[in-house]
Amino acid sequence: MKSYRNAARFTLALLLVPAAVLQAADAASSATRPNILWIIMDDVGAELPCYGERAIKTPHIDRLVREGTLFERAFLTAPVCSPSRSAMITGMYQTSIGAHHHRSGRGTEKIHLASGVEPVPAIFQRAGYFSCNGGYPLKGTAIGKTDYNFEWNPSIYNGNDWAARKSGQPFFAQIQLWGGKNRNDNGRWYREAAPAALGTLTSPDNVTLPPYYPRDPVLLQDWAEYLDCIRYCDMQVGEILKRLEDEGVLEQTFIIFMGDNGISAAREKQFLYDSGIHTPFIVRGPGIPRGAVRGDLIEHIDMAATSLARAGIEIPKSMQGRDIFAGDYRPRDAVFAARDRCDETVDRIRSVRTERFKYIRNFHPQRPHLQPNAYKDAKATIRRLRELHAEGKLNELQERILFAPTRPAEELYDVVADPFETNNLATDLRCRQTLETLRNRLDIWIRETGDRGPEPESMYDSDMAVYTAKPNRVVEGNILLNKQWAREGK
C-alpha cells in the first residue's frame, strides 16, 4: 500500500496538471457562462479564523474572504451529512422531499423525488455544462461523496474532474474535502499525513473548548486534531485555487466554500445548536463583491438557486432556496433546521432561528440528549465523557447539558447573549411572547413546507436490515431499545 505522502504527491500531480488546450476557449466562453465550483468540507463547522478562531491560521481560505464575500450567518437545514447533502443538491428542505432521515432509502424501500424536483447537476447538464463531482485528493475515476437519501441517476455526473470536458465547455463541479473525517481512522492520518503536510501540529494547550466540555486531555487532543483538519482543508483550497489559476479559469469560476455539518462531537454534529448547523459560507467569483461581509441570515439550500442564477439558468419554481445575490433579493428573517433519525437512533427535532433567538422543539423529550448511537459511542471523546460522567467528574453545566436523563420539550436561547446555547429561556416569563411567536413560526414552516415527519416503521426496518447485514451487537441492541422506547411512548 502506498504511503499517505506518496499518494498525496500522485494525486496532487493529477489535480495540478494545467489544461492548456482549454484556457483560451474557457476565457472567452466563460465570460458569460461562468464555471460553478462547490468546495464542501465534511464535518467542519465555523471554527475558522475568519469566523473568530484564534488557534490556527488559514491563509488560503482567508484569500477567498479577501477576494469574495463572507456570510456571517449561514446555516444548514440539517446537522448531519446525508440529509444536508440531499437538501444541498436539490435546493429543497430535506423534510419536504422525504430525505430527512440519515442514510435512509438504502434498503428495499426507496425514496423518490416528487415530480418537478431534480438534482442540480442534471439541470446544469441540460444547460450544456459538464457536471462533475470529485473526492479530494482525486483518485482514479470514482465519483466524489454524494450520500443522497433518494434514488438518483449516476449519469447526472459526467465524471469526477472537469479536465474531461469539451474545449470551451463550462463546468459545474463539486470537490469534496474529507475535512474533520480525517480524525476517523484511529489517528493514522494524524500520525502519517498531517506532520508532513502541515509541519507543526496544533498544541492541545492552545485549544478553547465550549463550556459544556471539560478540559480533559482526550477532548483537547481531539479538538486540536480537528483544527489541524481545517488547516489541511486550507492547504487543499490553496491547491485548488492554484489549479484554476494555472488553467486560466479562476476569474471565470464562481466558487462557494462551505461545510456539510458541524464537528463530530457530543453536541455539534446531529444537533440543531449553532455549533451543529452554523456553516462557513464564502463566495468568490465574477461580479461578487470583494472583501465584503454579509450578516443576513441564509440557508445552505440557497447555494443551488444562487448557482443556477449565476449561470443564467431559470430557477425551478419548486426550489425553496433563494438567489442571495439577486437584485430583488428579500433577506430571510429566520432560518429553519431539522434533525431526524441518525443511523439506528430515532429522533425528531425542529428549530427556527432569527438574528437574536433560537427556538428548538424536541418531539422525544423523554429520551436523553446522548441517546445510544453506535457511530458516536465508538468515538474516544464520547467514551471519555461517559467515563467522566460515571466518575462524577463533570460540573453542573456539563452534566445538565450532556447527561440529563430527559430533555425539555422546548428550548429558547438568546444566541447573542448566550452563543453556546446553555441557558434555556423557554420557562422564563419575560420571554413568553418570543417563545409563542417562534413556536407559531415553526408550526407554520412545518405546515407550509410539507414536513414529512416520522418515517414509517417499515422504512426503518428496511434500512436497519442494511445496518445489520453484518452482525453488530451494539447496533442491534440500539434498534431494540429504540423500538422499546417507541412502545413506551418515549
Write down how long the chain is: 490
| Distance separating alpha carbons of residues 410 and 361, to the nearest angstrom | 5
Which residues participate in catalysis according to the annotation?
81
Contact 338, 93 (CB under 8 A): yes
- 3-class SS of residue 1: coil
CA-atom Rg of the chain in angstroms:
22
| Distance separating alpha carbons of residues 223 and 490, to the nearest angstrom | 33
Grid coordinates standing for 450?
410539507
| Distance separating alpha carbons of residues 347 and 482, to the nearest angstrom | 10
- Nearest 10 degrees: Cα torsion 193, 199, 201, 202: -130
- Cβ neighbours of 114 (radius 10 Å): 13
Handedness of CA 108, 111, 115, 118 (dihedral sign): negative
Q: Minimal CA–CA distance to 246: which of 18, 15, 12? A: 18
- Cβ neighbours of 227 (radius 10 Å): 23
- The half-sphere exposure of 171 on its side-chain side, counting CA atoms within 13 A, is 30
Q: What angle do CA 78, 83, 88 make, to 5 degrees?
A: 85
